[in-house]
A and B are shown apart, each in its own frame.
Chain A
Amino acid sequence: MNEAVRNPEEPIIEIENLSISFFTRKGEIPAVMDFSCTVMPGEAMGIVGESGCGKSTVSLGIMRDLSNIGKIVGGRIKFRGRDMGDMSEEELRAIRGNKIAMIYQEPMASLNPAMKIGQQLMEVPLIHDKVSNDEAYKRARDMIASVKLPDPERIMRSYPHQLSGGQQQRIVIAMALLSKPALLLLDEPTTALDVTVEAGIVQLVKGLGKEFGTSMIFVSHNLGLILETCDRITVMYSGEAVETGKIKDVFDRMRHPYTQGLFRSIPLPGADKNERPLVAIPGQLPLPQDRPKGCNFGPRCHHFVEGVCNAAEIPMIPVDGHEGHFSRCVRFNEIDWAAMPPGAKKSSEPVKPGAPVLKVTDMRKYYNVGGGGMFGGGAGRTVKANETISFMARESETVAIVGESGCGKSTLAKVLLGLETASAGSVTLGNDEIQSTGIENRSVGTVSAIQMVFQNPFDTLNPSHSVGSQIIRTLEKFKVGKNTAERRQRMLELLDLVKLPRAFAERKPRQLSGGQKQRIGVARAFSGAAKVVVADEPVSALDVSVQAAVTELLMDIQRKNKTTMLFISHDLSVVRYIADRVVVMYLGHIVEQGTTDQIFAPPYHPYTEALLSAIPIADTSVVKKHIVLEGDIPSAMNPPSGCPFQTRCRYKSLVPDNLCETQLPPLKDLGNGHASLCWLADDVLAEMEPVISFDRDHAAHEGEPEDVVPHRERSVPGGDPGFAAPPPKRPRGKRAAPAAGRLGDAAEEAESRGRTRRQETRDESGGQKAGAPRRTENSTVAPFKQAEAGSGRQAVDPDAPSAFEPTEKENGKPRRK
């Protein structure tokens, strides 16, 4: 792109019109077409897109590591000005792994399980730089320290399997950095990790450019992660780059309908299930073989115009006013970017929770592991998968159960469904105690009253039976309908309910896409008279653009049937969007529970606070406090003494008498049903700051081309605590929900005031338009330094004075009604 011309510096890598195809039995599959991008030294380029759009193929193409069926069929990749296509095999090998290093999703793919970490790391300088053994050892140890792993000496002596996933990934990064690469390719480096561990890696990756001068290409499906780590972004769709530009330009003023669709379908802080529902992108990704003529996004685009969009292949078109911003859309200057797509859901009434349906009291579930076998009992160890779980769910209510892997969410679900029986305590469904009734002893009524939607769409349906027959079987088990004909009819109605064509009844699951399978999963769960539906991460394995549709569907049906939903998730942004109440779990304990607003505003439980700060949010106006937890989640086989969270808690020092390490804290009642499992005293709790707040000033002007507002970078974070408070209104674009313009400023302020306790003290500045820098003042209340890494790069500099009055500008903008 023309950037290279303007910039005197030489780009690290220039990709020009790259096309890659795979040659398979079924013929040529064009995986990447006409892909261009340039990465400057020290710059981080993010590539986002949904599964199968060709992100990984691009990075493999740069590495020239396409398997024998993949071939570069067009375009060039220039590394430091030299065409890699002209290089000899030897030169390429020298560049690969030395000048260009790649980090994969699965850390173990890059580590040798039979070699000690130290040896593996030392090999890099030994081979590449031919240094002495001592020097190599020193470099390896220093590198381990600089990827922020504790106790480098011990790590050097360990084998890969002795480290946790997060630590392994850090080692892989260390190994890549040791060869001092000019370019680092990261392909979903955190997807296999837990959120709080991911936050640590992100923190590390972010500093790499500055610290080592390494350029990066960061491949991810998560817009929030890209925002946190990259300077520029390329959005890919169906094998093509559809939009590219600076992060800020693309996030705030996107000029491709697909990018806008992506933003509208993820639960950003502005979304609300009642007032500003998510807007899904209709349809699904075309297969590479049957891409349409012209714009690939055409069949799913609301702005499609016959004869314009499908006339010819569309080139990348520069966007006025933004440097280096391009979009592969012919109509972006004609589109009303604020308009909602036709048929987008309007706001709906909030549900009123009814009588309690499900009550869990002091439920425990212990597993005995080890022992058994034919020749002996043998006393095994006890794993405490669930400890004193107590919560309640009412009719029509959505209760989210949040926690990372191994926290006992799935065990809880199993006990509720009767796949396991509780070790102690009670579970009451309606009026029946079901904690010790296994599924085989439950009545048909009970079985159909509590059902589940599973996580993995590729696993949720039996691949051997047709979709219809699987639903019919469920109906038969639930004694719905008198005969096969009636059940068949009911099955077709269920297909209607989940908005799938009736013809799908005859299909086998493999003929359905992930989202469609998940819809069948939903239909199956609601096929009896389900009172409670347990949804175990129902959308986390789906593509972003499909997630919204399935989430909305699930909520629609729930609303209609007045079903109680237990929504299990690790993703707090979805939870905030969907849940009425939230239960946070850690290592088998409920550490905090309360209404969604209570959970998302201070005072927090220390773990909730860390979890909140760990979610990547794809919104440039969000100011987030970065709390990086040390270490990993302890194993449930070997939990810590005292408070379950004590090994990673940064507040521990504020509790006297070493209580955290010795005694399990009491469940502290914080009023109105808000409870937290923590020793922290009221005064410490009262001083907690919100983790997420809005830079309203930025939000008010986001998306304007630079030449319109020449200087508006410097602004002040607003005072909204948490994201329980309503987000700023946006003059254009991104989250243009119908209700966005409804609330006046005053109403918005009043509402945020009413919602949260700590608002009072900060209210004035929240109401001020461009007041004094507040964060400096606030930072005095944070007494801990060790883990807090300051606010992220989303935050703008708080110390700089504001150059203009935002109100005027805001009024000058067209407002939607």
Chain B
Amino acid sequence: MNLEFVGATQIVLGILARFWPVWLSLAIVLGASYFYRKKLGLYGQLFSTGVGIAGLAICFFWLFTAIFASRIATFDPLAQVAVLKNAMPGAIAPETSGGGVYLLGGDNLARDVFSRMVFGSQIVLIIAPAATLFALMVGITLGLPAGYYGGRIDALLSFLANLVLAFPVILLFYLLVTPAIVEMGIPRWMAGVFFLFPIVFFLTLFWTRFKNRPDRIWLYMGLTIVIGGWIYASLVFNADPFRILSLTPNQLNIFAAVVFASSPGVFRIVRGLTMDIKTRDYVAAAQTRGESPWYIMLWEILPNARGPLIVDACLRIGYTTILLGTLGYFGLGLAPESPDWGTAIKDASRLLRSFIHPALPPTIALMSFVLGLNLLADSLREQSMKD
């Protein structure tokens, strides 16, 4: 086999060039944000330190990569060009298969490593934040009453949370994807319960605030039920009438598992914050004007807990990303051919002794994304402490 290669400089230039939509968007967004940073509150303050800018830049980089994945990628992430199996970076694909360069080489199944890494970002950037969001909803909805009422509710919920936290996460995932358990429908069940939380959350949120305002209440409640119901039907039962949203059974498993494993952490943070904030005078003021407990929790306490929650969410997205990687590595969850970073690392690891290049891009991608999130969280924490 005689493969032709392009030189290292060309590889680097080629990669940089492929990312042009990302550079453009980064320049526009970061530039504009930097220019208006004085008016952008906490987000704007991130631009006052190098750490903040670096964190934002990395996170935005992956966000834009996910958005423009199909434009950046050179090949279909699943397409195989047989001659390029385990090819070194810069290998030129033969004309017969459409030409082009495997910028970062080919993997064991002769797929383009670069394109897979780019498309992998899409999966990571959808599942990790979405799962974190759901975990946040579950944690908040349970943490608020635990912290606010205390007593038995708190004791019970905290006990359950500790139980989940005490369980080894990997074992939990193994269990959840075991065919027997999947057949019993347990993951679907769990997802069914977890995905109910956001709907309940928003319904309570609007009801407590607007119940005496007929002009708004029905609109909001109706919207929540329609949108929530649609998402719920699509995700849990995979029955989206418009065929926009869908979740494969594998993805559903992962989702349920990640939400299950992360929400106790959120629960504990929210509970602690609530116990602190409920002693403030403005909570007493709300009580003395006759507000209901849920109004106080959702409208008086929660908004003031947002700072630490945002920081935690950042860290948690990073953690979930690693978790997804771990799952992929163990071959749990997503489909075997999925380009997500975890699965890619697993595939590459088998041949690590002979070929190291297919393992590096997904690893570096994962590391840099988590690093970016951590930098962002650090900087957010620091800035929010300042005032």
Minimum Cβ distance to chain A for residue B386 (Å): 8
Interface residues of B in 291-329 (CB under 8 A from A): 291-292, 299-300, 303-304, 306
Minimum Cβ distance to chain B for residue A490 (Å): 15
Among A447, A464, A510, find the residue whose CB has the most chain B CB atoms closer than 10 A.
A464
Question: Which of the residues B151, B159, B288, B303 comes within 8 Å of A465, measured between beta carbons?
Answer: B303
Among B151, B281, B284, B386, find the residue whose CB has the most chain A CB atoms closer than 10 A.
B281
A6 on the interface (CB 8 Å rule)?
no
B97 on the interface (CB 8 Å rule)?
no
Binds B, one of A327-335, A448-456, A765-773: A448-456
Convert B136-173 into 0s and 1s, putting 1 for each residue whose CB lies closer than 8 angstroms to a CB of A: 00000000000000011001100100000000000000
Binds B, one of A135-143, A473-481, A693-701: A473-481
Contact indicator B288/A462 (Cβ below 8 Å): no
**Chain B positions within 8 Å of A419 at CB level:** 284, 287-288
Minimum Cβ distance to chain B for residue A24 (Å): 10
A372 on the interface (CB 8 Å rule)?
yes
Taking A456-B281, A463-B304 as contacts, is the C-beta distance between A474 and B156 under 8 angstroms? no
Contact indicator B288/A460 (Cβ below 8 Å): no
B10 on the interface (CB 8 Å rule)?
no
Contact indicator B281/A447 (Cβ below 8 Å): no
B9 on the interface (CB 8 Å rule)?
no
Contact indicator A462/B304 (Cβ below 8 Å): yes
Contact indicator A462/B287 (Cβ below 8 Å): no
Chain B residue with the shortest CB-CB distance to A373: B155
Contact indicator A372/B151 (Cβ below 8 Å): yes
Question: Which of the residues A442, A454, A463 comes within 8 Å of B285, measured between beta carbons?
Answer: A454
Taking A462-B300, A464-B304 as contacts, is the C-beta distance between A447 and B282 under 8 angstroms? no
Interface residues of A in 432-448 (CB under 8 A from B): 439-440, 442, 444, 447-448
A531 on the interface (CB 8 Å rule)?
no
Taking A374-B152, A374-B155 as contacts, is the C-beta distance between A440 and B280 under 8 angstroms? no
Contact indicator B291/A524 (Cβ below 8 Å): no
Contact indicator B304/A452 (Cβ below 8 Å): no
The distance in angstroms between the C-alpha atoms of A473 and B212, with both chains bound, is 11
Contact indicator B290/A459 (Cβ below 8 Å): no
Contact indicator B281/A454 (Cβ below 8 Å): yes
B289 on the interface (CB 8 Å rule)?
yes
Minimum Cβ distance to chain A for residue B356 (Å): 45
Contact indicator B290/A460 (Cβ below 8 Å): no
Question: Which of the residues B48, B151, B152 comes within 8 Å of A25, measured between beta carbons?
Answer: B48
Contact indicator B303/A451 (Cβ below 8 Å): no
Taking A454-B285, A461-B282, A462-B282 as contacts, is the C-beta distance between A439 and B152 under 8 angstroms? no
Contact indicator A374/B159 (Cβ below 8 Å): yes
**Chain B positions within 8 Å of A456 at CB level:** 281
Contact indicator A462/B284 (Cβ below 8 Å): no
Contact indicator B289/A460 (Cβ below 8 Å): no
**Chain B positions within 8 Å of A459 at CB level:** 280-282
The distance in angstroms between the C-alpha atoms of A447 and B159, with both chains bound, is 37
**Chain B positions within 8 Å of A216 at CB level:** none
Minimum Cβ distance to chain A for residue B2 (Å): 61
Minimum Cβ distance to chain B for residue A770 (Å): 52
Taking A440-B290, A440-B292, A464-B304 as contacts, is the C-beta distance between A452 and B285 under 8 angstroms? yes
A417 on the interface (CB 8 Å rule)?
yes
The distance in angstroms between the C-alpha atoms of A632 and B100, with both chains bound, is 86
The distance in angstroms between the C-alpha atoms of A634 and B256, with both chains bound, is 55
Chain B residue with the shortest CB-CB distance to A528: B289
**Chain B positions within 8 Å of A375 at CB level:** 155
Contact indicator A439/B155 (Cβ below 8 Å): no
**Chain B positions within 8 Å of A448 at CB level:** 289
Taking A459-B280, A460-B282, A462-B300 as contacts, is the C-beta distance between A447 and B155 under 8 angstroms? no
Contact indicator B290/A439 (Cβ below 8 Å): yes
**Chain B positions within 8 Å of A484 at CB level:** 213
The distance in angstroms between the C-alpha atoms of A417 and B48, with both chains bound, is 46
The distance in angstroms between the C-alpha atoms of A34 and B288, with both chains bound, is 49
Chain B residue with the shortest CB-CB distance to A447: B290
**Chain A positions within 8 Å of B303 at CB level:** 462, 464-465
**Chain B positions within 8 Å of A373 at CB level:** 155
Among B212, B288, B387, find the residue whose CB has the most chain A CB atoms closer than 10 A.
B288
The distance in angstroms between the C-alpha atoms of A26 and B291, with both chains bound, is 40
Taking A373-B155, A461-B282 as contacts, is the C-beta distance between A452 and B300 under 8 angstroms? no
Contact indicator A447/B280 (Cβ below 8 Å): no
Contact indicator A455/B48 (Cβ below 8 Å): no
Taking A374-B156, A374-B159, A462-B303 as contacts, is the C-beta distance between A451 and B282 under 8 angstroms? no
**Chain A positions within 8 Å of B159 at CB level:** 374
Contact indicator A460/B285 (Cβ below 8 Å): yes
Minimum Cβ distance to chain A for residue B285 (Å): 6
The distance in angstroms between the C-alpha atoms of A474 and B155, with both chains bound, is 33
**Chain A positions within 8 Å of B299 at CB level:** 465
Chain A residue with the shortest CB-CB distance to B305: A464
Contact indicator B289/A474 (Cβ below 8 Å): yes
Minimum Cβ distance to chain B for residue A419 (Å): 6
Minimum Cβ distance to chain B for residue A654 (Å): 43
Among B280, B299, B300, find the residue whose CB has the most chain A CB atoms closer than 10 A.
B280
**Chain B positions within 8 Å of A418 at CB level:** 288
Taking A454-B284, A462-B304 as contacts, is the C-beta distance between A442 and B290 under 8 angstroms? yes
**Chain B positions within 8 Å of A462 at CB level:** 282, 286, 300, 303-304
The distance in angstroms between the C-alpha atoms of A462 and B288, with both chains bound, is 14
**Chain B positions within 8 Å of A455 at CB level:** 281
Chain B residue with the shortest CB-CB distance to A521: B285
Contact indicator A524/B290 (Cβ below 8 Å): no
**Chain B positions within 8 Å of A521 at CB level:** 285
The distance in angstroms between the C-alpha atoms of A372 and B155, with both chains bound, is 10
Interface residues of B in 146-204 (CB under 8 A from A): 151-152, 155-156, 159
Minimum Cβ distance to chain B for residue A487 (Å): 11
Minimum Cβ distance to chain A for residue B219 (Å): 15
The distance in angstroms between the C-alpha atoms of A474 and B159, with both chains bound, is 37
Chain B residue with the shortest CB-CB distance to A450: B288
Taking A444-B290, A462-B300 as contacts, is the C-beta distance between A524 and B285 under 8 angstroms? yes
Contact indicator A476/B282 (Cβ below 8 Å): no
Chain A residue with the shortest CB-CB distance to B300: A462
Question: Which of the residues A463, A477, A510 comes within 8 Å of B289, measured between beta carbons?
Answer: A477
Contact indicator B288/A477 (Cβ below 8 Å): no
The distance in angstroms between the C-alpha atoms of A796 and B238, with both chains bound, is 91
**Chain B positions within 8 Å of A461 at CB level:** 282
The distance in angstroms between the C-alpha atoms of A451 and B386, with both chains bound, is 35
Contact indicator B284/A477 (Cβ below 8 Å): no
Minimum Cβ distance to chain A for residue B38 (Å): 11
Minimum Cβ distance to chain B for residue A27 (Å): 13
The distance in angstroms between the C-alpha atoms of A797 and B285, with both chains bound, is 52
**Chain B positions within 8 Å of A473 at CB level:** 289
**Chain A positions within 8 Å of B289 at CB level:** 447-448, 451, 473-474, 477-478, 524
The distance in angstroms between the C-alpha atoms of A40 and B288, with both chains bound, is 54
Chain B residue with the shortest CB-CB distance to A461: B282
| 7 nearest A-B pairs in the assembled complex, by CB-CB distance | A374-B155, A464-B303, A459-B281, A454-B281, A462-B282, A447-B290, A460-B281
Q: Other than the known A439-B290, A447-B288, A448-B289, what 10 A-B pairs have Cβ atoms closer than 8 Å? A: A374-B159, A419-B288, A442-B290, A447-B290, A459-B280, A459-B282, A460-B281, A465-B303, A477-B290, A524-B285
Q: List 15 A-B contacts (CB under 8 A).
A: A25-B48, A374-B155, A419-B284, A442-B290, A451-B288, A452-B285, A454-B281, A455-B281, A456-B281, A462-B282, A462-B286, A464-B303, A465-B299, A477-B291, A524-B289
- A residues neighboring B (CB under 8 Å): 25, 372-375, 417-419, 439-440, 442, 444, 447-448, 451-452, 454-456, 459-465, 473-474, 476-478, 484, 510, 521, 524
